[in-house]
Every structure is written in structure tokens, then in C-alpha cells.
Amino acid sequence: MEKVVIIGGNAAGLTAAARAKRIDPRLSITVLEKLPHISYSTCGIPYFLSNLVTPESLISYSPESFEKERGIKVKTQVRVESIVPSRRRVEGSRVDTGEKVSFPFDRLLVSTGVKPRLPDVPGTSLQNVFTMVNIGDAMRIREPLQTARNIVIVGAGYVGLELAECFHSLGKTVHIFEKEPQVLSSIDPDMAAIIDYELRRYGVGISVSAKLLALVGNKDRVDGVKTASGLGVMPADIVLLDTGVEPNSDLTAETDIRIGQAGGIAVNANMETTVPGIYAAGNCAETWCPIRRRPVLNFIGTVAAKQGRIAGENMAARRSRFFGAIGTTVLKVFDLNVARTGLSSREGAMERMDVVSERIEAQDRTSYYPDARKLWVKLIVERAGRKLIGAQVVGYGDASKRIDIAATAITAGMRIDELSQLDLAYSPPYSSLWDAVLVAAQAVMRKL
């Protein structure tokens, strides 16, 4: 019986395991996970910490139920420490007992996610300083969160912003320090300004262009954050570091598994690494970007699951290709819906593309209909080919519908002229006669 070993028991790893088993039930599949849990929704952490959802609802399968329903072996609390391709084995130890373990494989999947990147300042190892990449982090912050009054978030990426709302909903005083001149640097500054306004409207403090100097503590516990912003030491009972993540590719050291130009595990379209029979999927692997036509890093769950599915199919000997991803995300920041896809204006410029963009303000439905809500839509077009390469939607109406239209248009290689006439559904409760995306397309065409 062919042996498949999967390192990492979440989005990419479990999707791969389930898919491979479904295609070839004869495979003997073992998932190795260092945490006590598998199959947890990292994306749901902000809502779990806000007490909107229960801890149980974040976990789809226990190791036992996954084993039973899928016929896949799951070993939790097993940390893989090395991959030995020449002997077709992985080696590691049990987190709880320290016992050494080793698993042979015919095919292997590395789906180990990301690891946090810490800022290079004193104090990051003080108590009550947290990062947030998995359910273990969420469990650890829960208790100190009960009594904390002042929380500082360093970094205004999407995790920082989601958690700012979460902590605010729990009655905490929240301040965000961001080193860039704007929040959420994956979108353009004029769109980020709307989020900045929303955060301040809810009383979240924000310092942009902030230089972090140190996390300061009383004995071993953090009690403030020192920056060069002239604010002195900002009091903090908890500090959340959202200062970036990087692919967790440590296990590839001392193997021929290559790390790519973007910094993740290099894979081909079948999600196979440079060592035949060893695959990588999810946030530890690189992702093909069809707009830039090169691999990039992509730290989102939707892409991890798709890559896992393709890896699973190929490990079960079906030839499937992953077509890539363009960075489509959506998040909620208080009453705002924030979505982006493709390249931002800055990213377009970094690729030396001649881009034209326009932002429009519109309503999400016919303005006379009750509860019509404001939306800002920005489209980014490559001048020569007139192709849509990026879109951002921020507003109080449905941003995700508009961004999904734009993501589809970009993926299909649609010209802005075609997008401006796209046959979209209309009735007053859902849209305007000319949907906001169509209005934005017409607006950007006037500049071409």
C-alpha cells in the first residue's frame, strides 16, 4: 500500500488528505500535526475572541472524527523536525512526551503554513506579547484578554485590523502603530484613508509612519510600547504583533527542496517541489500570479485550500494543475467592508506597468431604496492592453460581490471596455441600474 504523509493538519493539509483519499481509497494517508487540534478555522479567530462564535464551532473535525469519517490517520502533538528525502522518511518527536517518532513515505506533502516575523526591538519575548497565526495563539490570548484594559496592536494588516475591532467590541482601549504611512498597505492610500476614518470614528487610536523602539515591561510582563512618535510610552496590558509572516519552510533545510525567488517553497503547477514525490501547498509554498507571471507569496486560506486540493489529486496520481491566484481578499472593519483583488497601483508600478486608475463613489443599490449604502470602487487598468489588473472596494454596502466580479474579469483577461458593459443583475434592492463596478469601469475608461 502506497504511503502518503502530510505535515500540517489544517487548510491545505487536510484538503489534500481528503482529496487524495477520495480519488484513491487504497492510499495509506497519515497527517502529522504539532498542535492538539486539526481542522480549525483560523479565519474565525477574531469572531471567536469577540465571543460571537463558540470555540467548538471553529473546529470542523476532531482527529478521531476525521480518522473515522475519512479513513485517514491523524497524529496530533507530533512535531516533524526533519525530512530525509534519501530515506523517504520524516522524523520528529511527540510534543507531550518528547518521544522520538519517524514515518516512512512514498509521497509527502509539506503544508506547514507560516511563522510570524517579529520586529527587531527589545521586549518581544515579554509576557502578554502575542502573535496570531493559529488556534494555539487564540487560546493563549484568551485569559489575559479577560482583564486587559489597554491593548496595543503593532501593524495594521488585515489581522491587526480584524483584531482591533474584536478587542474594541470587548470594551478595550485599542491603539494601532503602523510603520507605513497608511493602514492596510495592500490597498491604495486613498482607499485606506476610508478605513482610517472608520477606525477613528469608533475610537481606535492610530499612529501611522510610527517607528517602534521597544516593548517595555514591568518585571517579565509587558506594560507599554515605546515609539518614536512623540507619544512617550503607550500603556499596554497586551501587545499584539501583526508585523508580518513568512513561509514556514524550515523543514526544507538540508534537503534539495528549493526555496523560490519569492521566499516560499518552490513548486510547479502540480504543487510538486524540486524533489520528485514531495509536494508543498498552502502558505508555506509559493503561488503562481497570472498577472505578474511569476510566483509570489499569498497568505490566505482560500488559496491554501485550492493548492491542497491540487496537491492531493496529484499525490493520488491524477494530473491536475493549479492555475494560480490574484490576491482576492475581503475583510470587515467595524461597519466597513473592505475588499481587494489583483495589483494595487503601487504593485503595478513595482512591476513597471503603465497603469491608470480611477475611484468612484456610488450606492450599493438604487438610492431611493431603503438602506442604500455607500461604496467606493477603484479600478486599476494597464494602459496599453486596456486590461483590468486590480480592484479595490471599500464601503458600507456589499464589497465582496463587486470584488468577485472584478476578480473574475481579471482572471478572464477582460478588457475594461468589456467589463463596462458586463450583463449584471439589477433590481432596486440589490444594485443600481448601472452597478458600481460598471460606473467605475466607465470612469477609468475616460482616463485611458
Ligand X SMILES: Cc1cc2nc3c(=O)[nH]c(=O)nc-3n(C[C@H](O)[C@H](O)[C@H](O)COP(=O)(O)OP(=O)(O)OC[C@H]3O[C@@H](n4cnc5c(N)ncnc54)[C@H](O)[C@@H]3O)c2cc1C
Task: Give the catalytic positions in this structure.
Answer: 43
Which residue of 46, 155, 295, 390 would you call a contact of ligand X, by CB under 6 A?
46
Binding mask 56-75 for ligand X (x = CB under 6 A): --------------------
End-to-end CA, the chain: 60
Per rule CB under 6 A, is residue 264 in the interface with ligand X? no
Going by DSSP bridges, is the β-strand pair 173-177/150-154 parallel, antiparallel, or unpaired?
Answer: parallel
State the nearest-atom distance from the C-beta of 32 to ligand X, in Å.
5
Going by DSSP bridges, is the β-strand pair 336-342/355-363 parallel, antiparallel, or unpaired?
Answer: unpaired
Per rule CB under 6 A, is residue 337 in the interface with ligand X? no
Which residue of 193, 300, 360, 422 would you call a contact of ligand X, by CB under 6 A?
300
DSSP state of 78: E
Q: What grid cell was written down for 284?
A: 508555506
Residue pair 304/11 in contact (Cβ under 8 Å)? The answer is yes
Q: Is the CB of 7 or the CB of 195 nearer to ligand X?
A: 7
Per rule CB under 6 A, is residue 357 in the interface with ligand X? no
State the nearest-atom distance from the C-beta of 418 to ligand X, in Å.
28
Put the strands of the sheet holding 205-207 in their side by side order. Answer: 129-130, 238-241, 150-154, 173-177, 205-207
Per rule CB under 6 A, is residue 42 in the interface with ligand X? yes
Give the angle 388-392-394 at the CA atoms, nearest 5°: 155
State the nearest-atom distance from the C-beta of 133 to ligand X, in Å.
5
Q: Is the CB of 116 or the CB of 348 nearer to ligand X?
A: 116
**What is the DSSP secondary-structure string of 86-113?**
GGTEEEEEETTT--EEEEE-SEEEE---
Half-sphere exposure of 39 (CA within 13 A, CB side): 20
Per rule CB under 6 A, is residue 155 in the interface with ligand X? no
Per rule CB under 6 A, is residue 439 in the interface with ligand X? no
Only one of the segments 66-74, 129-137, 355-363, 381-389 lies at the binding site for ligand X (rule: CB under 6 A); that segment is 129-137
Residue pair 306/411 in contact (Cβ under 8 Å)? The answer is no
Per rule CB under 6 A, is residue 340 in the interface with ligand X? no
How far, in Å, are 215, 364, 374 from residue 370 at the CA level? Answer: 48, 11, 12
State the nearest-atom distance from the C-beta of 310 to ligand X, in Å.
13
Only one of the segments 40-48, 64-72, 168-176, 289-297 lies at the binding site for ligand X (rule: CB under 6 A); that segment is 40-48
Binding mask 19-38 for ligand X (x = CB under 6 A): -------------xxxx---
Only one of the segments 43-51, 181-189, 252-260, 350-358 lies at the binding site for ligand X (rule: CB under 6 A); that segment is 43-51
Could you give the CA distance from residue 172 to residue 166 in angstroms, rounded to a whole number? 9
State the nearest-atom distance from the C-beta of 156 to ligand X, in Å.
14
Q: Is the CB of 46 or the CB of 217 nearer to ligand X?
A: 46
Only one of the segments 20-28, 127-135, 173-181, 407-415 lies at the binding site for ligand X (rule: CB under 6 A); that segment is 127-135
Residue 147 backbone phi and psi in degrees, to 5: -105, -15
Q: 323, 313, 264, 321: which is closest to 290 by C-alpha?
A: 323
Q: Is the CB of 155 or the CB of 217 nearer to ligand X?
A: 155
Taken in order 69, 71, 75, 81, is the CA torsion positive or negative?
A: negative
Instruction: Provide the 3-class DSSP secondary structure of residue 417.
Output: helix
Which residue of 4, 5, 6, 7 would you call a contact of ligand X, by CB under 6 A?
7
Which residues contribute to the site for ligand X (CB under 6 A)? 7-13, 32-35, 42-43, 45-46, 79-80, 111-113, 132-134, 159, 248, 251, 282-283, 299-302, 304
